[in-house]
Chain A
């Protein structure tokens, strides 16, 4: 495992987020304390309503915490967002149907004011990274769901943020495509050395991908277990049949169950 001696990339201390609704307050996050180091691959896993997506959105400055502190790259999430510290991959690919694949990937670059040559250079690089070379001129509807999601990952990578936030990016895809994309995400992570935060509700996906697994439970949304994975960074698909893998998966399942009992 790589060391995480450097200052943490994401640091949350007693983070709370309460939504006020007509039925009273909803504690989406309660006393979340978490430290994510540079180059970590962190999965957030838990049943729906456990606040995993909310936590990711707080990191991305899409939600405001009601108590506690959080820093991203040593800054407030707001400053980090404005410094374009992260790329965010949503559940749906959300490609613009009126733009080609290349046009979609260069969209954030246009917004950030990169020159045309630079945009094309970067688009070519990230599209190669997600193995979509040759599809630059296609429109999204001409691509399969898995390819669209790869394009959306390329778009999040295009402006070279150190952090990649992924919110159930493969949730809508079938298992075969999902396995392939999981493998590719690992390769991508190894090549780019980014810090990745990955929301999922699949135990095998979380265990297969992560160096750190954050198990969460609902009502109130909180962390019940943080597991540092002993698996090597290099992970072939069949590592999922190894005893270590099964051990971690078991611990994750226990954590999820425990959270469920006291809820």
Chain B
């Protein structure tokens, strides 16, 4: 539990800085209101008012937490369209939008990881792929995804694919890359001696792959998947912007259309919490797997 104190200190410092920034960010609007209404504000009034605006430039932390709570538990439990009253998730709640994002993220991550591993195997075992694939993989990541996403959506739509898959494809587009890089490194982790050793046993290529290269690559695999799943989430959110069929990306966009800063911040935090959870889950699987393999204490 030694790590709790530093983490807590940093968190509290950030929250304090945030509160300190809220006042100057939102004060001008309050002052304008006061001038217009012909009343004067004391400093204490000004400060307290900057933290309770309904559409602040910068919402205070407690407002964001309140909005998160209102758009998850309160909406589903008490809302007219909430799960408690209708048996299905409310389309105004972050639970619903988080789920839409999560499902596309997960599918995209699975596709991306599979593609990444397949490409890495090809690169390691095939000379032509070794020489040709990596530059393209790198080039693919230099194109801004925000520019590419609408085109992917349109192209897939024109061949009759819509819904979950186009978003997952964009997520996969971002998440395959770290997996390729990590797995190429991982599959090449065995040194010359270990490969010679396999040869002295007259092991087949498949045996060399399954018994040496694949297990050697596991630490690299998990490290890449941690990056990959976070990238998949970013890809999904970007993919949701042109699709406009729910998801945290849609909440972000509609929030900015209507100046609903609270909604934007709540969706941002929901995305951050989701990303942290996903990375944490991969980390947990990593710990358990590597420990069972004897690769971690």
CB within 8 Å of B: which residues of A?
57, 60-62, 81-82, 84, 86-88, 90-92, 94, 96-100, 107-108, 110-112, 139, 141, 159
Contact = CB atoms under 8 A, between A and B. Distances in A.
B interface secondary structure, majority: helix
B294 A98 contact: yes
A98 B197 contact: no
A33 to B, nearest CB: 25
Given A81-B202, A111-B203, A97 B197 contact: no
Contacts of B200: 60, 62, 81, 86-88
Contacts of B215: 96, 98
Interface in B251-297: 293-295
A106 to B, nearest CB: 11
Nearest to A98: B293
Contacts of A61: 199
Contacts of B218: 98
| A interface: dominant SS | loop
Contact of A99 (B197, B198, B201, B294): B294
15 contacts: A61-B199, A62-B200, A81-B202, A84-B202, A92-B193, A96-B212, A97-B295, A98-B215, A98-B293, A98-B295, A100-B294, A107-B201, A111-B201, A111-B202, A112-B202
B201 A108 contact: yes
B187 to A, nearest CB: 15
A82 B196 CA distance: 13
Nearest to B198: A111
Nearest to B204: A111
B201 A62 contact: no
Given A81-B202, A108-B201, A111-B207, A97 B196 contact: no
Given A88-B200, A94-B193, 9 more contacts: A62-B200, A81-B199, A88-B196, A91-B193, A96-B212, A111-B198, A111-B202, A111-B203, A111-B211
Interface string B167-207: 00000000000000000000000000110111111110001
Contacts of A112: 201-202
Contacts of B295: 97-98
Contacts of A99: 294
A60 B200 CA distance: 7
Nearest to A100: B294
B197 A88 contact: yes
A117 B202 CA distance: 22
B239 to A, nearest CB: 37
B290 to A, nearest CB: 8
B296 to A, nearest CB: 10
Contacts of A98: 215, 218, 293-295
Contacts of A139: 294
B207 to A, nearest CB: 5
B196 A62 contact: yes
A138 to B, nearest CB: 10
Which 8 A-B pairs give the minimum distances between C-beta atoms? A98-B293, A139-B294, A88-B200, A108-B201, A111-B203, A111-B201, A98-B215, A82-B202
A192 B283 CA distance: 48
A110 B203 CA distance: 10
Contact of A90 (B196, B203, B212, B293): B196
A2 to B, nearest CB: 27
Contacts of B294: 97-100, 139, 141
A97 B189 CA distance: 13
A87 B199 CA distance: 11
Contacts of A111: 198, 201-203, 207, 211
B231 to A, nearest CB: 28
B201 to A, nearest CB: 4
Contacts of A82: 202
Nearest to A78: B202
A107 B202 contact: no
Contacts of B212: 96
A64 B73 CA distance: 72
Nearest to A167: B193
A94 to B, nearest CB: 6
B293 to A, nearest CB: 4
Given A97-B295, A111-B211, A90 B193 contact: yes
Nearest to A60: B200
B5 to A, nearest CB: 32
